């Protein structure tokens, strides 16, 4: 038997279904019906999403966006332990508390590195196409067993804690997937082609340094729009990199690719479109300003982008 990403979808779908039911019966949540519906729809995406016609899933995604967009996703009040109970528990368990927390990355790492050698009856144990994510899933389950044993809690309490944190995150939890979807719609609709056309038509790249700057800054800007350097790379490299930097000025393509992609990453540091890295952490850390993480990154990103223009210019034409 191979553990695949599909198993993780079922697991996450089941946890979200629990959250949906718990929300519907949660009287401390003023918006429990719309919030419950929101999480129920999301649970369905994971449980049966691939079996439904794409049109229905599209309607569901739009419905979720409307619920979230008109303030329908609320949070209940979760009664946690008192500060003195926290302190007592922290004192009692001490450094043992670090063990399950560090077990997640550790198991993920070991799973990723050893996936090639783990097999039962010829079938790989971990899905070879998604080793990291599947290892992460295994790591979380192992760590859950560890933490339950350590704290004498039940997995059911784990579900309640998951509900508490899901409430704290709210719709921000779904935003990365929404943006991923938008990236695919953009490429289906030909946004990349249009951007490449506009850049190459309206900017004069007869000066080599200008062409380098256009490529570097273009990678960052396009990543800001798409939220992902991977989406920007084919557009800017196909539009400017290969025909101008390599074709006209005979630069080293390996340098161009390396510095180009890392310039895209500077863009990732600057954009709310990269929700997984910028918006979700702000929600996770309970920051009132959703853009606080981006603000902390702006000086690093802009300085590095300027440095990249010069690095590319000197290393590519050495």
**Dist CA 21 CA 19 (whole Å):** 6
**Residue 30 C-beta-side C-alpha neighbours within 13 Å:** 3
- Window 285-304: residues binding other proteins (CB under 8 A): 285-289, 292-293, 295-297, 299-300, 303-304
Radius of gyration of the chain (CA): 23
d(CA 23, CA 41): 13
- Binders of other proteins among 212-241, rule CB under 8 A? 225, 229-230, 233-234, 237-238
Residue 188 touches other proteins, criterion: CB under 8 A: yes
Helices (H) and strands (E) in the chain, counts: 14, 2
Residue selected from 1, 27, 53, 204 as contacting other proteins according to rule CB under 8 A: 53
**Smallest separation (angstroms) from other proteins to the CB of 32:** 19
Q: Which is nearer to other proteins, 98 or 209 (CB)?
A: 98
Footprint of other proteins on residues 255-284 (CB under 8 A)?
255, 257-259, 261-262, 265, 268-269, 272-273, 275-282, 284
The helix/strand/coil state of 225 is helix
From the CB of 206, what's the least distance to other proteins, in Å? 18
Q: How far apart are CA 114 and CA 213, in angstroms?
A: 42
Three-class secondary structure of residue 273 per DSSP? coil
Stretch touching other proteins by CB under 8 A, among 29-37, 117-125, 132-140, 202-210: 132-140
**Which of 25, 28, 33, 86 is close enough to bind other proteins by CB under 8 A?**
86
Write out the DSSP string of 48-89. Answer: HTTTS-HHHHHHHHHHHHHHHHTT-----------HHHHHHH
Instruction: Establish if 60 lies at the interface with other proteins (CB under 8 A).
Output: yes
Report d(CA 304, CA 263) in Å as an integer: 8
Q: Cα separation of 13 and 5, whole Å?
A: 12
Helix axes 292-316, 253-268, angle to 10 degrees: 170
21 lines the binding site for other proteins (CB under 8 A):
no
Binding mask 154-173 for other proteins (x = CB under 8 A): -x-xxxxxx-xxx--x-x-x
Residues 30-49 that bind other proteins (CB under 8 A): 45-46, 49
Nearer to other proteins, 24 or 162 (CB): 162
**Shortest Å distance, C-beta 23 to other proteins:** 15
Q: Please state the closest distance from residue 191 (CB atom) to other proteins, in A.
A: 5
On the CB side of 247, CA atoms within 13 Å amount to 11
Q: Does 112 bind other proteins (CB under 8 A)?
A: yes
Among 30, 33, 81, 203, binds other proteins (CB under 8 A): 81
HSE, CB side, 13 Å, CA atoms: give it for residue 75: 14
């Amino acid at each position: 038997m191979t553990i695949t990403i599909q198993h993780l979808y079922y697991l996450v779908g089941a946890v979200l279904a629990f959250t949906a039911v718990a929300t519907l019966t949660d009287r401390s949540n003023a918006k429990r019906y719309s919030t419950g519906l929101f999480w129920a729809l999301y649970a369905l995406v994971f449980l049966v999403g691939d079996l439904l016609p794409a049109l229905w899933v599209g309607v569901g995604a739009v419905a979720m966006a409307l619920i979230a967009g008109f303030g329908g996703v609320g949070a209940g009040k979760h009664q946690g332990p008192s500060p003195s109970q926290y302190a007592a528990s922290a004192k009692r368990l001490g450094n043992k508390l670090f063990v399950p927390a560090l077990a997640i990355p550790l198991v993920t790492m070991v799973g990723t590195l050893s996936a090639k050698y783990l097999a039962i009856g010829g079938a790989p144990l971990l899905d070879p196409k998604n080793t990291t994510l599947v290892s992460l899933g295994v790591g979380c389950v192992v760590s859950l067993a560890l933490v339950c044993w350590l704290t004498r809690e039940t997995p059911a309490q784990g579900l309640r804690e998951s509900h508490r944190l899901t409430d704290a995150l709210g719709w921000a939890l779904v935003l990365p997937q929404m943006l991923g979807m938008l990236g695919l719609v953009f490429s289906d609709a030909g946004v990349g082609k249009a951007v490449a056309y506009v850049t190459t038509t309206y900017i004069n790249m007869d000066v080599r340094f200008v062409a380098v700057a256009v490529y570097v800054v273009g990678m960052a800007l396009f990543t800001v729009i798409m939220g992902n350097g991977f989406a920007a790379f084919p557009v800017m490299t196909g539009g400017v990199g290969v025909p101008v930097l390599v074709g006209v000025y005979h630069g080293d393509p390996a340098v161009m690719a390396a510095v180009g992609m890392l310039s895209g990453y500077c863009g990732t540091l600057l954009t709310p479109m990269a929700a997984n890295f910028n918006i979700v952490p702000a929600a996770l850390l309970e920051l009132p300003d959703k853009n606080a993480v981006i603000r902390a990154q702006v000086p690093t990103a802009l300085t590095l982008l300027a440095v990249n223009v010069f690095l590319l210019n000197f290393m590519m034409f050495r």
